[in-house]
Amino acid sequence: MRNVLASLFVVASLIAAARSQTPLASGTLDVHWNAGAPDCARSPQPPLQVHPYNPQTFILRENPCATAEAPFLYLLLGSERALLLDTGDISDPRQMPLASTVMNLLPRSAAGAALPLLILHTHGHLDHRSGDSQFASLPNVEIVPTDLDHVRQYFRFTDWPNGVAHIDLGHRTVDVLPTPGHYPSELSYYDRDTGLFFSGDFLLPGRLIIDDAHADLASAERAAAFVKDRPVACVLGGHIELDASAGQLEIGSHFHPNEHVLQLAKQDLLGLPAVLATFNGVYSQSGMYVMYNQTRILLALAAVLVLGLVFCGLLLRWYLRRRRMFKSEKLAA
């Protein structure tokens, strides 16, 4: 029995070693993303930029002039179906021709049918799923909703947020990792073909908006453990929110003339647990990352506003009392 187990262990080790030595499909990130414009009305911009990382992998970026969120979307082609990660911030196809652009990128059969398309999301915030409606009536397109019940059911996560699901695109497998913390049903994706890790808003150069600090740290630890012994070409997030020279955040602007590169390194993902461990629960900064909890900041601002109103009320009351006393003294005199 021991010999059998030893043999099985050796075989498993050889298979793992063979997989680890499989070369990744190469690609390029030698691209200058459209910066938008200081005055978008005077400098019309193409609403969508498409960069072929390689012939089977496309990075799409919604122009900052079209939306200040300027999100990144990712299209992966397999032999049996394609995968689109996120659909961006704009639903109107006249403003953002996302569906037509994506469908034109899909290979077609001899009969003219496009490759079936699966649409998944990193999370459910509107800037990552508003374009869903453009695909809703198209044939051979499946859209998975972003709420936790649908996510758990579709990927068969029985012990959320533990476990890893797999998507078979046909000679191309994508691993799906639960990474809640920024959003309850947040997902990250690892493409075995290219070694690209798609992190959405879970990890990007700029803001790490943390709704649940405990869940976010646990997600970072699971993600780091997942990639530890896997090749990672780079980590691609949902936005760029950092100025490359000043190291300051670029938020809400339609002009990004000097933004940080999109891609982060495997080491950035491995180091994320240590970064998140420094988060104080409200607002913290560590290197390129600004971490904060929006709810707690809003509550703190509301508390300051209430205290300010109370102070103004007390000050007004004191002023009125002094005025009445002054009038009384004047009358008495």
In angstroms, the CA 60 to CA 43 distance is 21
> What is the four-CA torsion angle of 238, 243, 249, 250, rounded to 10 degrees?
-70
pLDDT at 93 (0 to 100): 98
pLDDT at 263 (0 to 100): 98
**Contact at 8 Å (CB) between 143 and 151?**
no
pLDDT at 22 (0 to 100): 75
Pairing mode of beta strands 196-200, 234-237: parallel
What sign does the dihedral 242-29-232-74 (CA atoms) show?
positive
DSSP 139-188: TTEEE---SHHHHHHHHT-SSTTSS-EEEE-SS-EEEEEE-TTSSTT-EE
pLDDT at 305 (0 to 100): 61
Helix, strand, coil content of the chain in percent (nearest 5):
30, 25, 45
For the chain, 333 residues long, give each residue's pLDDT as a single digit of tens. 455 444 544 444 444 444 445 799 999 999 999 999 999 999 999 999 999 999 999 999 999 999 999 999 999 999 999 999 999 999 999 999 999 999 999 999 988 899 999 999 999 999 999 999 999 999 999 999 999 999 999 999 999 999 999 999 999 999 999 999 999 999 999 999 999 999 999 999 999 999 999 999 999 999 999 999 999 999 999 999 998 876 777 788 999 999 999 999 999 999 999 999 999 999 999 999 999 998 866 555 555 665 666 677 677 677 777 777 777 766 666
pLDDT at 301 (0 to 100): 54
